[in-house]
Amino acid sequence: MVEKLWGSRFDTQPPKEFISFISGRDVTIKEGSDFRLVPYDVWGSRVHVIMLVEQSIISKEDGKALILGLREILNKWEKGEFKLEPEKEDVKLGMEKAGKLHTGRSRNDQITLDMILYLREESLVLLEKMLILIRSIVNQGKKGMRWVMPGFTHHQHASVTTFGHIFFSFAEALIRDCIRLEAWYRLFNRCPLGGAAGYGTSFPVDRKLTAELLAFDGPTENSLDPINNRWEPEAHIAFVFSAFMNHLSTIAQTLILMSTREFNMIRLDDRYSAGSSIMPQKRNPVGLEIIKAKAAYIAGALSTLLSIGQSLMVGYNRDTQWTKYIIMDIIDEVFSIPTILKGIIESLSVNRSAMELQCSSGFITAPALMEYIIQKWDLPFREGKILMEKAVKFSEKEGKERITLKGLKAASAETGIILNITEKEIEEFQQPSRIVSLLKIIGGPSETSMREELASLSRRIRSHKRWYVERRKSLKSARDLILKKEEEILSS
Amino acid sequence: MVEKLWGSRFDTQPPKEFISFISGRDVTIKEGSDFRLVPYDVWGSRVHVIMLVEQSIISKEDGKALILGLREILNKWEKGEFKLEPEKEDVKLGMEKAGKLHTGRSRNDQITLDMILYLREESLVLLEKMLILIRSIVNQGKKGMRWVMPGFTHHQHASVTTFGHIFFSFAEALIRDCIRLEAWYRLFNRCPLGGAAGYGTSFPVDRKLTAELLAFDGPTENSLDPINNRWEPEAHIAFVFSAFMNHLSTIAQTLILMSTREFNMIRLDDRYSAGSSIMPQKRNPVGLEIIKAKAAYIAGALSTLLSIGQSLMVGYNRDTQWTKYIIMDIIDEVFSIPTILKGIIESLSVNRSAMELQCSSGFITAPALMEYIIQKWDLPFREGKILMEKAVKFSEKEGKERITLKGLKAASAETGIILNITEKEIEEFQQPSRIVSLLKIIGGPSETSMREELASLSRRIRSHKRWYVERRKSLKSARDLILKKEEEILSS
Amino acid sequence: MVEKLWGSRFDTQPPKEFISFISGRDVTIKEGSDFRLVPYDVWGSRVHVIMLVEQSIISKEDGKALILGLREILNKWEKGEFKLEPEKEDVKLGMEKAGKLHTGRSRNDQITLDMILYLREESLVLLEKMLILIRSIVNQGKKGMRWVMPGFTHHQHASVTTFGHIFFSFAEALIRDCIRLEAWYRLFNRCPLGGAAGYGTSFPVDRKLTAELLAFDGPTENSLDPINNRWEPEAHIAFVFSAFMNHLSTIAQTLILMSTREFNMIRLDDRYSAGSSIMPQKRNPVGLEIIKAKAAYIAGALSTLLSIGQSLMVGYNRDTQWTKYIIMDIIDEVFSIPTILKGIIESLSVNRSAMELQCSSGFITAPALMEYIIQKWDLPFREGKILMEKAVKFSEKEGKERITLKGLKAASAETGIILNITEKEIEEFQQPSRIVSLLKIIGGPSETSMREELASLSRRIRSHKRWYVERRKSLKSARDLILKKEEEILSS
Amino acid sequence: MVEKLWGSRFDTQPPKEFISFISGRDVTIKEGSDFRLVPYDVWGSRVHVIMLVEQSIISKEDGKALILGLREILNKWEKGEFKLEPEKEDVKLGMEKAGKLHTGRSRNDQITLDMILYLREESLVLLEKMLILIRSIVNQGKKGMRWVMPGFTHHQHASVTTFGHIFFSFAEALIRDCIRLEAWYRLFNRCPLGGAAGYGTSFPVDRKLTAELLAFDGPTENSLDPINNRWEPEAHIAFVFSAFMNHLSTIAQTLILMSTREFNMIRLDDRYSAGSSIMPQKRNPVGLEIIKAKAAYIAGALSTLLSIGQSLMVGYNRDTQWTKYIIMDIIDEVFSIPTILKGIIESLSVNRSAMELQCSSGFITAPALMEYIIQKWDLPFREGKILMEKAVKFSEKEGKERITLKGLKAASAETGIILNITEKEIEEFQQPSRIVSLLKIIGGPSETSMREELASLSRRIRSHKRWYVERRKSLKSARDLILKKEEEILSS
C-alpha cells in the first residue's frame, strides 16, 4: 500500500497523475476487457455493414437499420451508459436483434479485428508519448553537454564523460523502440475481416473494401493465419514494450543511484519523490522504482503470451482469449510511464560540483593523460601504458589520486622514456572538461560530437513524428470515407 | 469475446460459474487490490492494539477507541460500504484519526503482515478445493479401473492400460501440489509485525504475543528479512500454483484430445462445452482450453515475481509493491479452476467400446504376449523379442494388426524357437483386460495394483484433509483469543 | 537419452542430421563460446589495423606485422589448431605481443563488435534456411490445394477446408518471421567500434571507415548506447526466433495430432520417426516433439536475456557477458530445425481418403449448405439459421450426420419457409470439394483463392531471397575492400 | 570475453576457481549430458540386476555377467576412458550385448531413475555448499554486530542499523533455501524403476527392493505419474535454486553498491575484483555481477522447464528430454557460486568509519530520538511526531542535519509540548550505537537481539547439517547393501 507520501515539509504537491501512478492498482477499479473494445467493435461492424450493402448481401434497408443501431451503441458508450452483461456474452450481442450483422462474419474474424484495431490505436498513442519523452531526454542531454561526470563501468569510475553524453545514449535506445513500434504497425496493419472462423465464407464479401475503409494496407493474405496466431501481434508489441521498459529501467536505476545520499549527483524534485517529514533529505524515488517493477512485469507477461501461443493445434483455440487480457494489462502498465518519467527528468536538479569533484580522484584522468602522451611523444601504446602505471604508483606514494609531475618524472626515470612534459600540460590534460573536449569521435562526449549527435537526434525525432502524423491522417481519411458511404446508404 | 455458447439443441444449461469461468475478464470488474486486504489489515491492527495496551505503550482508553473504530471499519467492509480513496492513500488511513495505531509499527511490517495473512487464508481455501478435486479424480479413476484403453507415449499407442490408471496418475501429481502448498504454509507462517520499517523500533513491542494472537508459529527471526524478500512468499506460492496448473494442463490437454471426433473416447457434457446449433456433435472444450491458457499465465506471472525480486538493494524498495497485484491476479485465475474441472470430470461420459476397440489393432498387445512367452518358455529377452518381431511381420502379411497363430508359427519356424503355444493362449494374452490383469507391479494398472493405490490415495487425502482442519482450528482459537482479550480491554 | 530408434522393420535409414537432431545434447560436446568468435574478432581487428594505419595512429610497419599476425591466427583457427586458454583470458590475447592493436580500442567495443558480426552472419544463414523451409511448405500446400479436410477450431471440426489452405497459413506466418529477421538486421547494422569502453577515445579513430569496411550502415550514433544495451540485439533476435519457433510448434503439434492412429490423416516417413519393431504402426513423432520443446526453450532464454538487461546501472556491467552464452545456445538450438522440418514435411504421406471421410459427418457441411440457401432464396441470415437448425434436428432423427432432403422439408414445413430445393442441390452443396470451391474470398481455401495466394507467396519469397543476396554481395564487397587495403599496406 | 583482469599493481593473485568463475563459458568445453549420467545409470542397472536375480527373472549366471560388465563400464568412466557415441544412442547401449538388462525395464523408467539419482546427489552437494556459505555469512554478521551503518529503504537512509543485522537477514533467507531443498528431496525421493514405459510390466519385478537398494523412501505410488511429469522434479529444484539465486543477487547488488567509490563502505579484496593498472582504486565487482546474471539465467530456465511441462498429452513425450539439458545447465551455473561468494564475503574489508559517518547526518537519528521522547514523556504518537517535525525544521535552519537542543526547544515552544530534555540526552539518543542498543525487539539490530538470533541461527544450521549427514549415511548403507548382494550373486 501507498506510504504516507508527502510530509508537511514539502512545498509543492505532486501531480495527480503521479499519485495515481505510484498507487498502482491499490484502489483502481479495472473494467472488463470488452468495455474498451466497444468502439473498435462498432467501427468494424459499421464497415462490415457498408460492405454487405455494397455487395448486395443485405438490403439497403437492413443496412440503414444497422448503421443507426451501431451509432446508438457508440453514442451510449461514449456517454458511459453502455453496459456489458456476461449472459449477453459480449459487446456484439447488443445487436443480436439485427442478426444480419453476422452475415459473412464470424466471431473469430470479428474479435481478431477488434484487437488489431485496438492495438493499432494504442501503438500510435504510445508512439506519440514516447517521442515526447525522447525529446525531453534529449533536452536534458543538451543542457548537460558540458557537465562533466564520471563515466561508469561496473558501477565504478572508468573515465570522464558528460551528463549529456549519458542522456543522449538513453535517447538513442528509445529511438530504436520507436522504430520497432512502427515496424510492428507495418507488419500487422492487415485486415482479418472476411476470414470468418478462419476458413472463409461463400458470401461474396469484399475484403479489399473493408480493409480500405479501416485504413489497413490490405486484407490478410490468408484467412486462417490471423486466427492461428491470435497471440502474435500481442507478443510482438509486448516485446517492443519490454525492450522499451528495459531501456527505461536502466534510466531509472541510474537515476536512483545518482540520487542516493552517497552519489549525491542529482536530486529528484519534491513533486516526484515520496519523503519523510522527519528525514527531510529522504527522497524516495518511488516513481523510478515502479518503472523497474513494470519492466519485470511486462517481460513476464511477454513470456505468458509466447507460452499461450506455443504448440497449439491449427485453427482457433480458446486458449488465445487470454492474450486479450494480458496485452491490455501490459498497455495499462506502460501507458502512463512516458509522461511520469518526463516529469521526473524535467524536474530533477543536478549537482554539477559533486559530479565534477568525482572526476578529480581515483586516477580517473590518468588514462586520458596517457593517450595524450602517447600521441604527443609518439610512443608505442605498450610503453605509454607502462610509463603511466609507474607514474600512478609514484603519485600514489605522494598520497595523491591524480598524476603529479614528480610522479611522472620518477616513472620517466625508471623506464628511461624521456618526456619534456610540463606541469601545465599535466594539469591541463587531467582537467576533466579539457579531457572531454578531446573525445571527438562520432558519438562521443565532446561538445563537437554531441552537437552533431543532437542534430541527428532532432532530425530522427522529427521524422518519426512525421510518420506518426501520416498514420493519423490516413486513419482520418478512412473514417471520413466510412461516414460518406454511410450517408449514401442512409440517404438512399 | 465469448462465443454464442449453447445452441438451442442443448438440453441443459451450463452452471453459472462455468459461464463466468469462460467469459474470463471480458466483463468482470476488478476491485483495487487493497479492497480485499481490508479485513486482514483490520485483523492485524486489532492484534497490534491489544499488544500495545498489554505492553502499556498506549492507554486502555486509547485501546478501547481503536478497537471500536477497527470493528466499525470491518463492519462497513462486510456490508460493502467501505470505500478506498487514492488520496487517502490506503486502507489504514481510515484510522488516521487514531494515529496511535502507528506506534511501534511501520507501513512495511503492516503490509507485509497483511499479505501473509491474505495468502495464508487463500492457501487454505485453495487446499480445500484441491482436495475436493483430487477426490473427484480418484472417484473417476475408481470407476474406470477396468476400462481398458491404449496407454500413450508420443501421442501413439504404446501398450494397454486403463482409464483408471491414468486418472490415478493424475491424482498422484495433485497430491504433491497439496504437499507443496502445506510446505509453503509452514515455511512462511511467521509474523513480521514489530519489525517496523525492517530495522525495528525502540518501543517495547511484544512480537511473540502478536504472533500468537495471529496463529503464527512465532515472529520472524529477523526483522529485516521479510522486508528484503517481499517477493518470496509470493513467488513460492506462485510456483506451487504453477506446478499445479501444469498438472491440470496435462489433464486438460488429454481430455481435449480424447474428446475429439477422431479419438472419440470421452464426451464432455453439454453443460461444460460450448457448441454449435448447426453442428450438434461439436463440443468445444472451452473450459479445458482456458485451463491451459491459465497455466501459461501463471508461469509468466511467476517469472515476473522472480524478476522483481532480483538484484534489489537491501531494505524495502517500492518495486516489490507490484508483487501484490501479481499474486492476487494469480489467485484470481486459479481460484475457480478446481470446481470447474471437477464439474467437467464428473459429468463427462466415457466411450468404453471405442477405447477398447483401439486395443485390438496396431499390434498394441504384442509386447504383452511377448512378455508372456518369455516367461512361460523361459526365453532370453533378446530371443523373445526377435521371435515376436518376426511374428509381427508374418501376421501383418495376413493383413492383421495382431499376432496370429499362423504368424507366430512361421516366426517359430524361421527362428528355430519351439513353442507349444495354442490359439487359445494367443487370444487370451492379446485380450486387453487379461493383459492388464498381469500388470501387477506396485502402481500399475491391474485391478490388484489399483485397489492398493486407491487405499493409499484415500489415506493420503484424508491425512491432508486432517491437516487442513487442524489449521482451521488453530486459526479459530487465535481469533477467539483476540475476542477475549478485546473484551477484557473494552470492559476494563 | 535417445530411445532405440529404428526397429529392423524400417526400410530406410534416418538422415544423419536427424539422428543428431533428436539426440540433442546427449553426447554433443560444446566448445567454449569464444571459439566461434575467433574469425569475427580477427575480422574486426584487421579493419581496426587498417584504420589505425590510415589515420597514422600506428606506423605502416606495425600495421604490416599486425595484419600478418592476424592472418596467421585465422589460418590456425580454420585448421582447427587454434587454442583458447582461460589464463590468456580471451581470443585477443593471442595478439598481446602486438599490443598496438589495443590503441584506441577497448574490450567493450571489441566484444560488442564481435557479437554483432557473429549475430549478423547467423541471421543471414538462418534467413536462408527459413526461406528454403517456407518454399517447401508452400510446395506441400500447392500439392494439397484440392485435398479437402476438416477445418478445425477447438480441436473440433468447424467447416471444410483443404490441406493446402492450412499449409499456406503456415507459410504466411513464417514470412513474417523473415520480415522480422530483416528488420532486426537493419536496426542493428551499426558499428560500435571506436566507442572504446563506451566513453570514447582521444585517438583520432575514423569510425566511418571501420563501419564501411565491415559493411555496416555506419557507426553507432552514440558510443555508449551499444555498451549500455549489450542485451538488446540478443533479446531482439531471440524474440524473432521465439516467434518463429512458436509458428513451428503449431505446425509440429498439428502434424503430431494428424499422425496419431486416431486422426490418421498423415503418416510420417520412416526416416523421420522413431518406431518400435514390435508395434510397426507406431511412429513416434520425436522430431516434432523436439521442435515443441525448443520453442519453450527459446522463450525461456528470451526471458533471461530481457531480465539480464533490466535495471542495470549505465555503462558496461559484467552481467551482460552472460547474454553471449544464451544467444549462442539459442542459435544452436534453432540452427538445424528448418532443415529437419523441411525433411519431415517433404517426406510425409497424406491419407486423402481419411481426411475426406471426416468431411461427410457431424453436419460439418451444414453451414455451407445454409449459406447457399440463404443466398439463393435471399433469406435473412437469422431465418436461414433457424431453418438449418431444424433441418439438422430432423435429419439427425433419421440417424444421419448430414442434411437430408426429408429433414430439410420437415424444417421447411415447421418454419413456413418455402424452398424449392432439390435432392441434387442438397447433395452438391454438401459435397466437400464443391463447398470449398465456393470459398472464394481473398486468402480462402478455394482453388481460385489459393492460386492467387500462391502467386503472392512466390513473389514475396523471391523478394526476400533477393534481399538476402544483396546482403551477401555487400558483405563480399566490404571484404574485398579490406583485402585491397591490406595489400596496399603490405606492399608499401 | 574476459577483460585483462589483474593489473601488475595487485599484490595477490585471484584463486583459480575465481578465474574460472568469471570466464564463464568463454573457453569451457561442455560434455554431452549423458556423460555425467553414466555412474547413475550403472548404479540403477546394478540394482535392477540384483532384483532380476532375486526374483528369478534372470539366472544367476546372467546376473554375474551383467554385474561384472556394469562394473567395468563404471571403471572405465572413472578413468575417463568411457566414450559415448550418438549412433550407439546412449549410455545404456554399451550393455546391449547383455540384452537381459532390459528385461522388465524400459528406457522411460531407466532415464527417469537416472535423473532423480543425479538430481538427488547434486541437491546434497549443493546443500552442503549452501550451509558453508551461510555459516560464513553468519560469521561476518557476528563480527559486524556493533558496526553501525544506515539502514536503507528505497536506496535512501531510513534509520540506523548494523552491518551484522543486515548479514543476519541474508542468512535467514538462505536457511529457507535449505529448507526448500530438503523438502524437494523428501518429495521426490521415490523410485520410478519398474514402471517400464509408464504402464508397467508383467514381469514380477520387485519395486520395493529396488527402491530400498537405491535408498529411496519407496517406489512411486503410480507407475505413470513420474513419466507424465518428467519436468517436475526439474522445475521444482530449479525454483529452489531460483529463489536461492534471488537471495544471492540481493546480497550481490548490496555489496556492489557498498563498494562503489561513492558509498565506500566496503572494499572487495584484490583477489576477488577485476581491476585496472591505471586506476588502482578501481575494483570491478565482476564476481558479484555474474551472480546477478546467473539469477536471471536460472529464472529464465525455470520458465522453460515449466513451459515444456505444459499441456502435454498423458504419457511420455520427447519434449521432456530437453528438461535434462536445462536442469544440468542450471546446476552447472549454480554449482560454484556458494564457494565464490564465500570467498568474496570473507575477504572483503569494511570501512566502519565511513558507515558510521553516514549515521550522523540527514536527520537519520531523529526518528529514534522521537521514539525516546514519546516514551519518556508519555506523549501520544501524533504529538511526538509533530514536535519532531518542527524540531527538524528549526535545526535545519541552523544548518544542521541532526536535532539540536535549540531546535527542539523552539519546536517545544511552538507546539506547547513541554520537555525537560537535556543536551546530553539529545546527544545520547542521537548517538548511533546508543540508538541501536534500544532496538531490542526479537530479530532486531541491538546486540541483545542479535546474540539471540545468532544462537538460533547456529542451532538451525547445525540441524540442517545433521539432516545432510543422515542422508549421506542412508545412501552409504544402501550402497553397502548393493555390494553385499552383488557379492552373494558373484560368489554363488
How confident is the model over C242-255, as a mean pLDDT?
98
Query: What ipTM was predicted for this assembly?
Result: 0.96
Task: Please answer yes or no on whether B29 and A30 come within 8 Å at the CB atom.
Answer: yes
Nearest to C90 by CA among C106, C107, C77: C107
Residue A281's CB is within 10 A of a number of other CB atoms, namely: 18
Residue D393 grid cell: 525544521
Of the residues D20, D276, D433, D437, only one is catalytic, namely D276
Assign residue D348 a region (left: φ > 0; alpha: ψ between -120 and 50; beta: otherwise).
Answer: beta
Chain C partners within 8 Å of A372 (Cβ): 202
Task: Please answer yes or no on whether B7 and C389 come within 8 Å at the CB atom.
Answer: yes
Chain C partners within 8 Å of B392 (Cβ): 9, 277-280
Nearest to D403 by CA among D354, D362, D437, D357: D362
For CA atoms D149, D153, D157, D160, the dihedral sign is: negative
Could you confirm whether B154 is annotated as catalytic? yes
D192 φ, ψ to 5°? Answer: -80, -10
pLDDT tens per residue across span B86-125: 554 444 434 444 578 889 999 999 999 999 999 999 999 9
HEC string of C227-254 equals: HHCCCHHHHHHHHHHHHHHHHHHHHHHH
pLDDT of residue A102: 85
Longest dimension (CA), chain A: 102
pLDDT tens per residue across span B3-39: 344 444 555 778 999 999 999 999 988 999 999 999 9
DSSP C35-56: HHHHHHHHHHHHHHHHHHHHTT
Strand partners, C156: C153
pLDDT confidence tier of residue C84, bands split at 50, 70 and 90: confident
Grid cell 590456425 — which residue? C76
Strand partners, C267: C349
Task: Please answer yes or no on whether C278 and B367 come within 8 Å at the CB atom.
Answer: yes
* CA angle (D456 as vertex; D452, D460 as ends), nearest 5: 170
Residue A140 grid cell: 536534458
Grid cell 558510521 — which residue? D356
CB C191 within 8 A of CB C207: yes
Chain C partners within 8 Å of D301 (Cβ): 300-301, 304
How confident is the model over D121-138, as a mean pLDDT?
98
Residue B236 grid cell: 513460492
Residue B120 grid cell: 495464508
Chain A partners within 8 Å of B279 (Cβ): none
Read off the amino acid at residue B178.
C
> Residue C35: is its pLDDT beyond 60?
yes
Least confident range of A3-7, D72-76, D223-227, D263-267: A3-7
Residue D307 grid cell: 513451459
Task: Please answer yes or no on whether B321 and A87 come within 8 Å at the CB atom.
Answer: no
Grid cell 477446408 — which residue? C161
Task: Please answer yes or no on whether D26 and C90 come within 8 Å at the CB atom.
Answer: yes
* Nearest chain B residue to C288, by CA: B154
**Mind telling me how many Å the CA of D98 is from chain C's nearest CA?**
15
Report the Cα D286 to chain-centroid distance in Å: 19
CA dist B165 and B167 (Å) reads 5
Superfamily of domain B16-354+464-490: Fumarase/aspartase (Central domain) (1.20.200.10)
CB A291 within 8 A of CB A375: no
> Residue B75: is its pLDDT beyond 90?
yes
Residue of C26, C91, C302 with shortest CB distance to D32: C26
Strand partners, B137: none
Could you confirm whether C236 is annotated as catalytic? no
A196 φ, ψ to 5°? Answer: 55, -135
pLDDT confidence tier of residue C10, bands split at 50, 70 and 90: low
Chain D partners within 8 Å of C90 (Cβ): 1-2, 26-27
CA dist C240 and A235 (Å) reads 11
Residue of D151, D176, D187 with shortest CB distance to B187: D176
Residue A62 grid cell: 437492413
CA dist C234 and C108 (Å) reads 16
Q: Helix, strand or coil for residue A403?
A: coil
Nearest to B163 by CA among B184, B186, B145: B145
> Residue C46: is its pLDDT beyond 90?
yes
**Which of B156, B255, B302, B318 has the highest number of chain C CBs within 10 A, making it the mutation to test binding with C?**
B156
Grid cell 459487446 — which residue? A91
Residue D95 grid cell: 550393455
Task: Please answer yes or no on whether D311 and B253 come within 8 Å at the CB atom.
Answer: yes
Nearest to B84 by CA among B128, B116, B37: B37
| Interior/surface letters C234-261, b for 16+ CB within 10 angstroms, e for the rest | bbbbbbbbbbbbbbbbbbbbbbbbbbbb
R_g (Cα) of chain A, nearest Å: 30
Task: Find chains touching chain B: ≥3 CB pairs under 8 Å.
Answer: A, C, D
**Which of D26, D77, D324 has the highest number of chain C CBs within 10 A, making it the mutation to test binding with C?**
D26
Chain C partners within 8 Å of A296 (Cβ): 307, 310
pLDDT of residue D90: 41
**Mind telling me how many Å the CA of D20 is from chain C's nearest CA?**
7
pLDDT tens per residue across span B227-258: 999 999 999 999 999 999 999 999 999 999 99
Nearest to B412 by CA among B394, B438, B425, B433: B394
Burial category of C170 from C-beta neighbours within 10 Å (exposed 0-12, middle 13-18, buried 19 and up):
buried
DSSP A3-72: PP---TT-SSPPPHHHHHHHTTTSS--B--GGGGGHHHHHHHHHHHHHHHHHTTSS-HHHHHHHHHHHHH
Assign residue A411 a region (left: φ > 0; alpha: ψ between -120 and 50; beta: otherwise).
Answer: alpha
Task: Please answer yes or no on whether A27 and B37 come within 8 Å at the CB atom.
Answer: no
Which residues of A are the active-site residues? 154, 276
Q: A188: Cβ–Cβ under 8 A, 6 or more apart, which residues?
A: A116, A119, A120, A232, A233, A236
C121 CB-side CA count, 13 A: 14
> Residue D274: is its pLDDT beyond 50?
yes
- Ranges of each domain in chain D: 16-354+464-490, 366-430
Task: Please answer yes or no on whether A156 and D284 come within 8 Å at the CB atom.
Answer: yes
Least confident range of A91-95, C111-115, C348-352, D13-17: A91-95
Q: Helix, strand or coil for residue B283?
A: strand
Question: What 8-state DSSP symbol labels residue D313?
Answer: P
Task: Please answer yes or no on whether C84 and D31 come within 8 Å at the CB atom.
Answer: no
pTM value is: 0.97
Over chain A (492 residues), the average pLDDT of each successive run of 10 is: 44 85 92 95 97 96 94 94 64 52 93 98 98 98 98 96 98 98 98 97 97 98 98 98 98 98 96 85 95 98 98 97 98 98 98 96 93 92 90 94 95 93 95 96 98 98 98 98 98 92
Task: Find chains touching chain C: ≥3 CB pairs under 8 Å.
Answer: A, B, D
CA dist D238 and B239 (Å) reads 10
Residue of A1, A303, A321 with shortest CB distance to B92: A1
CA dist A250 and C314 (Å) reads 6
R_g (Cα) of chain D, nearest Å: 30
Least confident range of A178-187, A252-261, B292-301, D91-100: D91-100
CA dist B316 and A263 (Å) reads 19
Q: Helix, strand or coil for residue C224?
A: coil
CB A410 within 8 A of CB A390: yes
Chain A partners within 8 Å of D289 (Cβ): 154
Report the Cα C465 to chain-centroid distance in Å: 15
Nearest to C279 by CA among B414, B160, B365: B365
* Nearest chain B residue to D208, by CA: B442
pLDDT tens per residue across span C51-76: 999 999 999 999 999 999 999 999 99
* CA angle (B33 as vertex; B27, B37 as ends), nearest 5: 130
HEC string of D443-469 equals: CCCCHHHHHHHHHHHHHHHHHHHHHHH
Of the residues C23, C33, C276, C347, only one is catalytic, namely C276
Question: What 8-state DSSP symbol labels residue D377?
Answer: T
Chain B partners within 8 Å of D371 (Cβ): 201-203
pLDDT of residue B92: 46
Grid cell 433457424 — which residue? C386
